[in-house]
Amino acid sequence: MYEQLSHSILNEILERLKPEIKEQELNHFYTRLGANFYSLFSLFLKLYGKRKDFKEQLLKLVEVMARQYIGRSPELKKTDLAREKDYNWFLSQKWVGMTLYADGFAENLLDLLSKIDYFQELGVNLIHIMPILECPKNASDGGYAVSNYRQIDARVGDLEALKNIAQAMKQRDILLVLDIVVNHTSNQHEWAEKARQGEHKYKEYYYIFQDREIPDMFEKTLPDVFPQTAPGNFTWDETMQKWVMTVFNNYQWDLNYQNPAVFIEMLDILLFWANQGVDILRLDAVAFLWKKIGGSSQNEPEAHILLQLFKDCCQVTAPGVLFIAEAIVAPVEIVKYFGEDAINAKECEIAYNATFMALLWDAVATKNAKLLKQGIKNLPDKLERATWLNYIRCHDDIGLGFTDEDIMEAGYEPKSHRNFLLNYFSGKYENTAARGLLFGQNPKNNDARISGTLTSLIGLETALEEKNQEKIELSIKHIILLHSMIFAFGGIPLIYYGDEIGTLNDYSYMGNLSKANDNRWAHRPKIDWKKAQLRKTPGTIEHTIFSALQRMIKVRKEIAAFGDFNNRELINLSNPHLFAFLRIAQENQDHVLVLGNFDASYQYLNLTDIDSKMLRLNDRDNIIDLYSSQASVMFKNQLVFSPFRFYWISVS
Ligand code: OTU
């Protein structure tokens, strides 16, 4: 949009750009800057307008965008233009992701490069490499306490190795996702060191307090993210003799985004990685970006403004690069990270569907889809040009992130239901085979979350120990059922590395001092490649799961209705164990009916249940399941579900 004030300021800024910038070929940069400047200016003004150096800071911001644009390779600029043209590219069903640790999935980046074939064998084409930037060895929070944002941790490799990976992936049409930890740095980051030495500029990068006055005000309402290992949100720094805000671990210093210099530094870092060939940046802990006394300091409107600003600026320099919002918050809050009142994403194009994830786990424990249905019914609509990351497990714990209202609607009492879930997954409930671990237990409110691999949480670890073949088979079917849901739901499915070959909990972290107090390490395995080789031997667990996912991915890619265009309709079935939704195709292609049985026993679906939804199944006597390419099992006009069976059925 054109508006006089901002435009006159833009002219002024362009006038003042250094000759070495002005001399460059900046055509596309200028058109994009012109398009975004009104918004960019207004947002920057909202956050920093009261400062005397406002214009200077704005100039610096434009300089950073311009310099990084100049540094962007012609090849990446070509990708930008291609993605501008094909702007819905990331909504296609062709994308399937995997998250992994470079030193867990492989030995290091170099070794990872040699394992790219594996991705293609499985069919995944979006690879999220967990944080690889430099971190202090024994205080890294698994890579989320960065001490140098421009250096890859020597333990996993170097920039050269990453560039080779980026290039190899590009050649095979595989997207690369990297983390940027925007909310905090390690206490050993250069900025923190300088702050500690008393440099004013860097003291302003963090929240540092003389005494407990302000910290105590904050503490009245701030929750604890890691109540067991890092209670409280402030840490005493001996050298400075001051309190520092540390919402996560005590060695993770929160960045002060009330200071525009911090925003500009971080933007420079985002664009630096965009220029290394990263397709998608995962922005960590975005809900926490803005702190305010008298609240939870999560989901503050200013946090959204910051993300809009990041997006506006990134679009000017590297418009082909997308953001993932890692905001594990309440369902109504998550969707706001796409941006509100818009068609295309104003903040992050992609967000973790933590709601769906948690609801799936509820269905696992209860063996029915009551809360799952209720939660999905109330899942807020997302923007048209934005999409979900649908996942079952990730490197973090599982939080029971659904609302009490929905729990009640589903017919349970919230407190006891949540307790039941915690007991179920931690193996305390008598009727459970789950081998989860309680994480983040908080005595103040009896809260807890759950750690453990998919395989162990589902019960396969127990079944194997008991050598119970029937239970082993059921667990595998259960694992496949969950994947059938995230593959069909709408959005990008994200497999957690190791799950594709049924990797169990790894308890070796307990013997490692820097990991022992964080049981999330139980589900951050080192892949045993000898075992992984069994994926090629029929009859093994590895083979059964791997080949099922392989097939599912192949079929998904062929089904246009699985693209994410807000084309999902929940179907209410009378059988509480069944979960069903319809994926609506565009134009004259077939819709797909997705059905899953969450119970461990046989279930039936009366076809009249579906007919009433005005769906005409193609040929009622011969309903083909797209996944297996076989006729569905019918008995007296009823669709038969064996335990944990799913169907992907084509309907017209
Ligand atoms: C994120 O986590 C990362 O995924 C964690 O691995 C890090 O420990 C953490 O940030 C700090 O960098 O901030 O928005 O319940 O879900 O800490 C959510 C724990 C986050 C995590 C939460 C999360």
Of 261, 245, 149, 244, the residue nearest 205 (C-alpha): 261
Helix (H) or strand (E) holding 624: strand 624-625
Half-sphere exposure for 454 (CA within 13 Å, toward CB):
27
* Mean pLDDT calculated for residue range 119-143: 97
Ligand 1 atom nearest 394 alpha carbon? 4
How many residues are there in the chain?
652
- Res 589: pLDDT: 84
Ligand 1 atom nearest 142 alpha carbon? 6
Mutate to test the pocket of ligand 1, among 225, 246, 290, 439 (most ligand atoms within 8 A of CB): 225
Q: Using CA positions, which residue lies closest to atom 10 of ligand 1?
A: 285
| Known catalytic residue at 518 | no
- How far apart CA 108 and CA 155 sit, in angstroms, is 7
Collapsing DSSP to helix, strand or coil, 361 comes out as: helix
Render 155-201 in DSSP notation, one character per residue: TT--HHHHHHHHHHHHHTT-EEEEEE--SEEETTSHHHHHHHTT-HH
- Res 614: pLDDT: 54
Of 346, 343, 366, 362, the residue nearest 354 (C-alpha): 362
* Mean pLDDT calculated for residue range 639-644: 97
Instruction: Check whether 619 has a pLDDT greater than 70.
Output: no
- Res 617: pLDDT: 67
Give the tokens for residue 35. Answer: 């398009």
Instruction: Check whether 615 has a pLDDT greater than 70.
Output: no
Q: In the chain, pLDDT over 70 holds for what percent of residues?
A: 98
Of 85, 25, 95, the residue nearest 564 (C-alpha): 95
Mutate to test the pocket of ligand 1, among 179, 389, 396 (most ligand atoms within 8 A of CB): 396
Cα 622 to ligand 1 centre (Å):
47
- How far apart CA 604 and CA 597 sit, in angstroms, is 9
User: What's the whole-number average pLDDT of the chain?
Assistant: 96
Query: Which tops the pLDDT comparison, 216 or 613?
Result: 216
Render 484-516 in DSSP notation, one character per residue: HHHHHSSSEEEEETTGGGTPPP-GGGGG-TTTT
All CATH 2.60.40.1180 domain ranges of the chain, comma separated, are 565-651
Render 196-227 in DSSP notation, one character per residue: HTT-HHHHTTB-EESSSHHHHHHHTTPPPSST
Chain-centre distance for alpha carbon 559: 24
- Res 607: pLDDT: 83
Q: Which residues of 423-438 are buried (b: 16+ CB within 10 A; e: fewer)?
A: bbbbbeeeebbbbbbb
Beta strands in 356-433 (DSSP E): 387-391
When pLDDT is cut at 50, 70 and 90, the band that residue 605 belongs to is very high
When pLDDT is cut at 50, 70 and 90, the band that residue 7 belongs to is very high
- DSSP assigned state of 247: S
| Given the residues 80, 326, 406, 625, the one annotated as active site | 326
When pLDDT is cut at 50, 70 and 90, the band that residue 543 belongs to is very high
Cα 458 to ligand 1 centre (Å):
23
- How far apart CA 629 and CA 649 sit, in angstroms, is 10
Q: Using CA positions, which residue lies closest to atom 13 of ligand 1?
A: 285
- How far apart CA 255 and CA 187 sit, in angstroms, is 11
- How far apart CA 31 and CA 262 sit, in angstroms, is 26
* Mean pLDDT calculated for residue range 371-395: 96
| Given the residues 284, 461, 499, 518, the one annotated as active site | 284
* Mean pLDDT calculated for residue range 550-573: 96
Cα 217 to ligand 1 centre (Å):
24
Ligand 1 pocket residues where CB is under 6 Å: 141-142, 144, 181, 225, 248, 284-285, 287, 326-328, 395-397, 399, 449
Q: In the chain, pLDDT over 90 holds for what percent of residues?
A: 93
* Mean pLDDT calculated for residue range 538-542: 98
523-526 contact pairs (CB < 8 A, 24+): 523/393, 523/395, 523/451, 523/452, 523/453, 523/456, 523/496, 524/101, 524/104, 524/142, 524/395, 525/104, 525/453, 525/497, 525/498, 526/103, 526/104
When pLDDT is cut at 50, 70 and 90, the band that residue 109 belongs to is very high
Contact between residue 508 and residue 477 where contact means Cβ atoms under 8 Å apart: no
pLDDT in tens, 249-304: 999 999 999 999 999 999 999 999 999 999 999 999 999 999 999 999 999 999 99
Q: Other CB atoms closer than 10 Å to residue 569's CB: what's the count?
A: 13
- Res 651: pLDDT: 87
Ligand 1 atom nearest 225 alpha carbon? 17
pLDDT in tens, 400-434: 999 999 999 999 999 999 999 999 999 999 889 99
The residue type found at 170 is K
Q: Return the CATH number of the domain spanning residue range 565-651.
A: 2.60.40.1180
Give the tokens for residue 96. Answer: 């399937």
CA 421 vs CA 9, 359, 437: distances in Å: 56, 11, 12
Ligand 1 atom nearest 399 alpha carbon? 15
- How far apart CA 404 and CA 414 sit, in angstroms, is 5
Instruction: Check whether 518 has a pLDDT greater than 90.
Output: yes
Cα 638 to ligand 1 centre (Å):
45
Of 617, 616, 642, the residue nearest 628 (C-alpha): 642
Give the tokens for residue 204. Answer: 């302003």
pLDDT in tens, 212-261: 999 999 999 999 999 999 999 999 999 999 999 999 999 999 999 999 99
Give the tokens for residue 279. Answer: 């397709």
CA 33 vs CA 86, 316, 370, 542: distances in Å: 20, 5, 49, 51
- Res 342: pLDDT: 87
- How far apart CA 466 and CA 361 sit, in angstroms, is 23
Q: Using CA positions, which residue lies closest to atom 6 of ligand 1?
A: 396
| Known catalytic residue at 284 | yes
